[in-house]
Amino acid sequence: NITEFMAGGVDTTAVPLQFALYELARNPNLQEQVRVQVKAAWARAGLQGAPLLKGTIKEILRLHPVGITVQRYTVHDI
C-alpha cells in the first residue's frame, strides 16, 4: 500500500506541475505577469497577494485534470 500512496502522491503533484510549466511556456506574457506578481507577494512575506497565480493553477487543473486515468466500466451490457 505504501508504494501505491507514494506513486499516487508523485503523480498528482508532478503531472500538474509539468502542465503548468508547459502552459506558462506557451503563454510568455502570462508567465511574466505571474512572475512579477509572485515576486512582489514574496517580498511581502507570503503568496496571499498573488491571485493571478491561484487563478493560473485553477485553470491548469481545469484544462488538465489530475484524475484522467480513472475509468468506469459498465456492470451489464446496455
| pLDDT of 7 strictly over 80 | no
Q: What is the pLDDT of residue 4?
A: 64
Residue 46 lies in a domain: yes
Q: Which has the higher per-residue pLDDT, 29 or 6?
A: 29
Residue type, 44: R
Whether residue 78 lies inside any domain: the answer is no
Counting the structural domains of the chain, the total is 1
Question: Does 16 reside within a domain?
Answer: yes
How high does pLDDT run on average in the chain? 82
Closest alpha carbon to 56 in 15, 13, 27? 27
Domain span at residue 44 reads: 2-63
Residue 59 in domain: yes
Whether residue 52 lies inside any domain: the answer is yes
Is residue 30 in some structural domain?
yes
- Which whole number is the average pLDDT over 50-70? 84
Give me 13's grid cell.
503533484
* Residue 34 pLDDT: 92
Confidence tier at 73 by pLDDT (50, 70, 90): confident
- Asked if the structure places residue 74 within a domain, the reply is no
Task: Supply the pTM of this predicted model.
Answer: 0.66
Q: Is residue 70 part of a domain?
A: no
